[in-house]
Amino acid sequence: MDSSTPSSTPSNTPSSSSSPKDSSATGHPQHPATVTRPQSNTRRVLPSATEPMARGFIDFIGGPPGHHALIGRQRWWTPLRVLLAVGVVFLSLGWLQKGQCIRTGHSDNGVFADWSGYRQYTSACYSDTVTLFSSRGLDQLHFPYLYSWVDDSGVTRYMEYPVLSGIYQWLVAVIARPVHSAWDLLGLPQVPAVSVYFAVNAFFLAAAWLAAVGLVAKLAGNRVWDTLLMAASPLVIVHAFTNFDLLACLAAVAVLSLWANRRPGWAGVAGGIGVALKLWPAFVVGGIILLCLRARAWSPLARLVAGTVITWLAVNVPILILSPNGWAEFFRLNSSRGWEGSTIYAVIAHITGNDAWSGITPSQAVEGAGTLNLISTIALLICLGALAWFVIFSCSTPPRLAQVAFLATFAFMLTNKVWSPQYSIWLVPLLALALPRWRLVFGWAALETVYWYVRMWQFLPAGQAAPNWLADTLTVARLGLLVIMSVLIIRQAKGVDPDSVRQAHGGIDPLAGVLLAYPSQSWASRRAGAHGGVEKKRLNKQPQGTGRAGAQISMGRNYGGK
């Protein structure tokens, strides 16, 4: 029994020995007064026993469970329902945080969303949802990738989001139109169309996030309460409705869930949907690919890749045929833009005084962007190459899937020239599964929340804007915390530090899925084992009692097991 798991007690565990009152021993019916008490889930890890941060709060609300507590016997307030309720609370706070940006203003032309006085920056309520509604033709229900306009620099522009993200925005606009009409028919106070659009979008994003919370709770297994790192993350308050990232979060978590449930083909389908929403779920799929390569699990690997590619093509090819320029806008814009102010490239530029690749205006092409793209790509390839070596060759036992997915996604974010502040929410579900250290993860999320306000204040007029040095300091601090968490994950994967998730699940990776049936050795161990097998045959031909040490060959263990 792991020391972090509450031990069973005689009060809730039936004795294996016979007693005079035991019907099996006496042959008489058991008296109702001696019925065995309900079983307690002794495998569930309680935060009150493992997390100092949780312990203080639990003491405040009444103290930790006693020795006679029945864990896992709740009929209504199950952990899942508690987690969903907490998620609703934090999503509601997220709505309130954005509320300043959908306030109704009045003019001779009707009502509008009042952003006067730079409210979107001073209160940090800015949301891309509001700005994209009118600027991308969604208010007129123009279909993305067919609708275009000419910007101030004379460039013909299209919707710059991946295909499913653009179609999602259009569908929300279609749904919001009759909702707004019904609002007016009911005689309710006038609100601008963009506010209704924001509300409908928030409803679907909230549903996606709650679904992701539910999936993570299932994946967390005996450490179900680690899902609070996701449901109660401060990042939900500031970024749940900043953009459309919660959809990709759900897709990425669905990949992990389907893989854990031994459905590699469907995991690929979820991966294809995720990549059609945002690029980053490709790195979650990539993490699975690395583990498959390590295990030489060719059939699951083929089904995963096929599902991902076919789904992505099924979504993208029709739009590519219908509007090649509209489909390519995402790639054109991202290849021509400069660095974004939340990246390490911005910090370096501010230190060196070189703003040649400044990305203040994402839609404006930057001279020399090709060089920046090359630097970013090389840095990413180096990080991914190091990760591949670590997973396939270096670790004696396979790293957990959540660990690899986090490291791959963070490598992409670290080296990418764009790290919009809301991107950080991508890491929240991965961290809840990969490194459930509450104080560290909540501390990082709190820093990201402060960072959002500082970044928004940078867009205020000169003389009022936050200085670059303040934002750069927070950029380095947030990266420092993420690097520390990455190092801790690497140490756990190498076996240097104990892995609390493995300990709570009998030494295995609860997300491994079909890989549990494959050998756990790295490629280097297999080569050593093959060489050792030849040596063992040679030594077995020697007289008995010689060469015993050389014949002791490690044959490996089951995947992730002991």
Distance CA 286, CA 405 (A): 8
Same domain? 330 vs 449? yes
Q: What is the pLDDT of residue 524?
A: 61
In this structure, the answer to whether residues 359 and 395 fall within a common structural domain is: yes
Count of domains observed in the chain: 2
Domain for residue 390, yes or no?
Answer: yes
Measured distance CA(162)–CA(147) in Å, rounded: 15
How many other C-beta atoms lie within 10 A of the C-beta of residue 48?
17
* Confidence (pLDDT) at 275: 98
Q: Is position 154 within any domain?
A: yes
pLDDT at 346: 92
DSSP code per residue over 287-338? HHHHHHHHHT-HHHHHHHHHHHHHHHHHHHHHHHHH-HHHHHHHHHHHHH--
The rounded average pLDDT for each run of 10 residues, N- to C-terminus, in the chain (562 residues) is 38 38 42 44 71 71 64 79 97 97 90 92 96 95 95 88 98 98 94 97 98 98 95 98 98 98 98 98 98 96 98 98 96 90 92 76 73 95 98 94 98 96 98 96 98 96 93 97 98 95 94 91 62 48 41 38 44
Angle at 310 between CA 306 and CA 315, to 5 degrees: 155
Kindly state whether residues 405 and 313 are assigned to the same domain. Answer: yes
So what's the pLDDT on residue 75?
78
20 shares its domain with 110: no
Same domain, 51 and 116: no
Q: Are residues 107 and 61 in the same domain?
A: no
Q: Based on the fold, state whether residues 209 and 266 are members of the same structural domain.
A: yes
What pLDDT does residue 477 have? 98
Contacts of 182 (CB under 8 A, 6+ apart): none
Q: Which residues pair with 104 in a beta bridge?
A: 113
Spatial separation of the C-alpha atoms in residues 558 and 397, rounded to whole Å: 9
Q: Is residue 89 part of a domain?
A: no
Which residues form the domain of 244?
96-513
3-state secondary structure string across 86-130: HHHHHHHHHHHHHHHHHCEEEECCEEEECCHHHHHHHCCCCCHHH
14 shares its domain with 103: no
Please report, as a single letter, which amino acid is at residue 307: G
- Considering 473, 498, 513, which residue would you say is the last residue of a domain? 513
Instruction: Note whether 450 and 505 are same-domain residues.
Output: yes
Do the domain assignments include residue 462?
yes
In a domain, 370, yes or no: yes
What pLDDT does 226 receive? Answer: 95
The pair of structure tokens assigned to 507 is: 């030494």
What's the pLDDT at 42?
57
* Same domain assignment for residues 14 and 124: no
| Beta-carbon count within 10 A of 362 CB | 15
Q: Is residue 178 part of a domain?
A: yes
Q: Of 15, 42, 73, which one is at a domain's C-terminal end?
A: 73
Token reading at 31 = 């008296």
Residue 88 lies in a domain: no
State whether 109 and 39 are in the same domain. no
Question: Is 79 inside a domain boundary?
Answer: no
- Contact, 325 vs 147, CB < 8 A? no
Does one domain contain both 17 and 113?
no
